[in-house]
Amino acid sequence: MHKVAVVVQDGAEPFGLGSLVEVWGEPYHPEDDNPVFDFQVCTPTPGRVRGRSDYDLFVERGLDTADDADLVCFAPRYDFLDFDPRVLDVARAAYERGAVVYAHCSAAFLLGEAGLLDGRECTTHWRYTDRMAARYPKAVVRPDVLYCHDDNVLTGAGSAAGIDASLHLLRQTFGARVAATTARRIVVPPHRDGGQAQFIARQVVDYQAETLGAVLTWAAEHLADNLDVESLARKAHMSPRTFARRFRDETGTTPHSWVTAQRLQLAEEMLERTDNSVDQIAAEVGFGNAATLRHHFTRVRGVSPQVYRRQFAC
């Protein structure tokens, strides 16, 4: 993946575009050796592009910029049901030649209109998931996730989830180390557990600042220990039932899912950066044995630990 093209249109959402720029458009980051992309922004009619928030953009490049891009992104916009046939053609052409096609927030509707979501798992902002499911009945709309990656089509939820989806794609393409160092550069978690459900009926919070923050920090530093609900509840001085309820309220997921995700993330990093055997890594991250690690790793990553190591070992 070398060239990244982002399509913007009138009504551009500044944060949605900015989330793409943060991950893919940084031209210089001397603190790491992560890849630098040929990042280009384009629009159907070059020139002034109306923004939504009291300022506009000036975009010099036309849609032909996306013709040879490895990743074609569609930034969200205010009038997201006003479809430009030229942009729909760009999406279809990019998909057909095998480029990754990526839209998040309301821009996911554009991929539905282009016919690229039929039979495919996808998501959008929680405000619009019911509307998307009704408008595109052949799409498999997931209202409870931060992003969906199905074949070479990637969709993300609300604006901030554009960063989650981009980091996921970095992780899939270049490995956990590149995703983690990118996340560190822009000061966000390399992976957020849970999904949109935790944000729908309550204020968006950082669970690390909530009542379980100390327990989560401790657990992340002791992944080789027994981290079942009873053990974590004792650490938090709560009953298992209260702890499990509080955990879901603050993280949007279960203790088991959270611990498994943390162990997999550490396993990825160790596969990339060490020569330890799969058995050694399984013991160090808390899976106990190689078979359990392989089971979880293959289920989540789609490849075995050995294949992952061959792809991403430093």
pLDDT score at 207? 41
In the prediction, which pLDDT does 44 show? 98
Answer yes or no: is 194 within a domain.
no
Same domain flag for 270 and 238: yes
The pLDDT, as a whole number, for residue 196 is 66
Higher pLDDT, 148 or 311: 148
Cβ–Cβ < 8 Å for 111, 141: no
Q: What integer is the mean pLDDT of 49-69?
A: 95
The lowest-confidence range among 70-74, 100-104, 158-162, 266-270 is 158-162
Same-domain check for residues 22 and 119 = yes
Range of the domain at 10: 3-186
CATH of the domain at 164: 3.40.50.880
The contacts of residue 157 (CB under 8 Å, 6+ apart) are 104, 105, 123, 124, 125, 126, 145, 146, 147, 164, 195, 196
pLDDT for the residue numbered 188: 82
Range scoring the smallest mean pLDDT among 13-22, 59-68, 203-212: 203-212
Query: What is the pLDDT averaged over residues 173-183?
Result: 89
Look at residue 19 in the predicted model and tell me its pLDDT.
Answer: 93
- Using DSSP's 3-state secondary structure scheme, residue 183 falls into helix
pLDDT at 57 over 80: yes
Task: Write a three-state SS string for 29-49.
Answer: CCCCCCCCCEEEEECCCCEEE
pLDDT at 158 over 60: yes
Average pLDDT for 249-274: 89
Q: Which of the residue ranges 40-49, 57-66, 160-169, 300-309 would you say has the lowest mean pLDDT?
A: 300-309
**Domain final residue pick, 186, 213, 232:** 186
Range with lowest mean pLDDT among 115-119, 213-217, 288-292: 213-217
Q: Are 127 and 162 within one domain?
A: yes
**Domain identity same for 175 and 269:** no
The residue out of 186, 220, 238 marking a domain boundary is: 186
Q: What domain count does the chain have? A: 2
Residue 210 has pLDDT above 70, yes or no: no
Query: Do both 291 and 251 map to the same domain?
Result: yes
Residue 153 placed within a domain: yes
- Reference 155, options 172, 141, 170, 176; nearest CA is 141
Tens digit of each residue's pLDDT (9 = 90 or more) over 70-106: 999 999 999 999 999 999 999 999 999 999 999 999 9
Which whole number is the average pLDDT over 1-23?
94
Q: pTM surpassing 0.75? A: no
Domain membership flag for residue 200: no
Q: Within a domain: residue 164?
A: yes
DSSP string computed for 90-144:
HHHHHHHTT-EEEEEGGGHHHHHHTT-SBTSEE---TTTHHHHHHH-TTBEE-TT
Please say if the pLDDT value at position 211 is more than 90: no
Same domain, 11 and 118: yes
The pLDDT score that the predictor gives to residue 311 is: 77
User: Residue 173 CB: number of other CB atoms within 10 A?
Assistant: 16
Residues 47 and 77 in one domain: yes
Residues 139, 252 within the same domain: no
- Tell me if 197 is assigned to some domain: no
**CA 229 and chain centroid, separation:** 27
* Number of CB atoms found within 10 A of residue 127's CB: 13
Q: What's the mean pLDDT when you consider all of the chain?
A: 89
Q: Which residues of 284-306 are buried (b: 16+ CB within 10 A; e: fewer)?
A: bbbbeebeebbebbeeebeeebe
Looking at residue 213, its pLDDT comes to: 83
What residues are paired with 121 via a beta bridge? Answer: 140
Q: How far apart are the first and last CA of the chain?
A: 18
Look at residue 129 and tell me if it is in a domain: yes
Q: Is the same domain home to 211 and 181?
A: no
Same structural domain, 123 and 176? yes
pLDDT for 180:
87
Pairing of the two strands 47-49 and 121-122:
unpaired
Residues 130 and 268 in one domain: no
Query: How many separate helices (H) and strands (E) can be counted in the chain?
Result: 14, 10
Q: Are residues 246 and 282 in the same domain?
A: yes
Structural domain includes residue 40:
yes
> Which domain CATH number covers 299?
1.10.10.60
Residue 143 lies in a domain: yes
